[in-house]
Amino acid sequence: MSSLSTERHDPPAALRWTPLVLFLLVLLLVGCGEGDQATPTAQPRGEIRAPLPTFIVEPEVSTVDLTLREDEVLVEPLPLRAGFPFTVTALIHNNLTIPAEDIPVMILISAEHEEIGYTSYTQLLTVTIPASQSLQVDLPMDWNFAGGEHQLWIQVNRLPDAWQDRAPTQSEVDVRDNFALVDLVVDPFDAYTSDLCSGRVDVEIEPADILPEPDQQRVLVRVHNVGNHAVYNLPVAVTSSSATGIAYTPAIPPCGGTAEVYVRVNRPFQEGDLLTVQVNPSQWVGGLQEDDFDNNAVSVTAGLAPGLALPPEASLEDYDFSISTSGIEIPEPWHVLVTVHNLGTRDAAMVPISIENEAGRKLTDAIPLVQGEGIGIAAIRVGYLWIPGGTLTFTVNPVDVKGAFPETRRDNNTATFTLP
């Protein structure tokens, strides 16, 4: 009986290392394949590859290079006095060899300690500075500055964002030298008196001192100081049925001194609107105490010539004068007989009429009475203007004559007549 042998027989050494060798060979082949993929192959002849994109940041280029220095900002005349105008002069330098066109310049003046109701002064303008030159900018200041400490701020080509639409700035890299800040000290107003007129405090306005400007939505008011005390900072108020406005006068010297003030209204007004203008109203809290308040208010009609104020009970339709060549005749030598029509409804006494010849000589007379919806007739001696065969021009109710009547339609107020 044969017995089974249990002795273990190990494989040869070459067979034991075969799987390990194969595994290392596979890793080597995989690594070589990846290396081949990372290595750029030779570019075939005739093939053009697009270059990789590059990003280049170009530096900002200035189209203007301007300079403004504080020591070149002058204020005259000094010392500054409340209520009196002055002038600010600034010198702007152009450092480039090309002109700087349409450069915005902003001026701001504000009080060091602003109080309720205080309004800062601001102005925006544009200038052009020639190449490699300097420009002197004169800024007249007629604003009514009160006494105290103020600051003047001037900026060239450097504006707040909210102002860019009004005057866009030019490209400029360095704007650190484009502004100037100057301290202003305004001396308080010192009222003075004069012995050249009567001893009273009195300001006045008349219809001829009022000029409404509907297209500008403002009213020009001329205020007279007929007293012997200088006055300052008086309120000037304009009111209508739908609009109001207020401004303040500068200092007005005594004994006939005059100041002009533009009063802007808060709503539009039209020709024909009745405007009431008051200076230093008697009911004004803290206002100037005057000896006579009766000459402090007038009423005018917008669209009429200065001084043509309507009577309180009148209207624009009350007067409408007309004249024609057929209404002019010669009753005897050196005289003309003139007939004037009134298409309005109100009688008018002493209606002015002017007559001018070809040589420019002129005389002014008046029609004693022109009835409403009627006529007026007057004989006028014109020997001073008589040129045989010459032409006379007749104008009824001319706007530039004292005593003229308010009238909206004037296209029929002139006629010509040929002398024999």
pLDDT at position 182: 94
Angstrom CA distances, 402 to 31, 147, 258, 306, 368, stand at: 114, 41, 21, 10, 15
Average of per-residue pLDDT across 396-400: 87
Average of per-residue pLDDT across 158-171: 82
- Whether residue 301 is predicted with pLDDT greater than 60 in this model: the reply is yes
pLDDT at position 273: 80
Question: Which residues make Cβ contacts (< 8 Å) with residue 372, sequence separation at least 6?
Answer: 318, 342, 344, 345, 346, 347, 348
Rama region for 266: left / alpha / beta (φ>0; ψ in -120 to 50; rest) = alpha
Average of per-residue pLDDT across 151-159: 92
Average of per-residue pLDDT across 148-159: 92
- What DSSP line would sit under 314-352, residue for residue? --GGG--EE--GGGEE-SSTTEEEEEEEE-SSS-EEEEE
pLDDT at position 13: 52
Cα–Cα nearest to 230, from 85, 83, 79: 83
Q: Taking a C-beta distance cutoff of 8 angstroms, is the pair 322, 413 a contact? A: yes
Whether the ω angle into residue 79 lies within 30 degrees of 0, i.e. cis, is yes
CA distance 240 to 319: 22
- Whether residue 151 is predicted with pLDDT greater than 80 in this model: the reply is yes
User: Cα 72 to chain center, whole Å?
Assistant: 26
* pLDDT averaged over every residue in the chain: 82
User: Which segment of 114-118, 169-173, 194-198, 367-371 scores lowest on mean pLDDT?
Assistant: 114-118
Q: Are strands 257-264 and 218-225 parallel, antiparallel or unpaired?
A: antiparallel
pLDDT at position 303: 66
**What domains lie within the chain, and their CATH numbers?**
66-187 (2.60.40.10), 203-301 (2.60.40), 316-418 (2.60.40.10)
Higher pLDDT, 234 or 301: 234
CA distance 355 to 57: 79
Average of per-residue pLDDT across 390-418: 86
User: Which segment of 64-78, 292-306, 365-379 scores lowest on mean pLDDT?
Assistant: 292-306
Average of per-residue pLDDT across 130-153: 88
Cα(first)–Cα(last) distance of the chain, in Å? 183
Going by pLDDT thresholds of 50, 70 and 90, the confidence category of residue 38 is very low
Q: Are strands 179-187 and 80-81 parallel, antiparallel or unpaired?
A: parallel
Q: What is the number of other CB atoms lying within 10 angstroms of the CB of residue 191?
A: 12
Query: 93-106 pLDDT, tens per residue?
Result: 999 999 999 999 99
Query: 176-224 pLDDT, tens per residue?
Result: 999 999 999 998 888 888 888 878 899 999 988 898 888 888 999 999 9
Angstrom CA distances, 211 to 215, 221, 260, 293, 307, stand at: 12, 7, 11, 21, 8
Query: 263-291 pLDDT, tens per residue?
Result: 999 888 887 788 889 999 988 877 888 99
Read off φ and ψ for residue 212, nearest 5 degrees.
Answer: -70, 140
Average of per-residue pLDDT across 23-44: 53
- Whether residue 416 is predicted with pLDDT greater than 80 in this model: the reply is yes
- Whether residue 33 is predicted with pLDDT greater than 80 in this model: the reply is no
Residues in the chain: 420
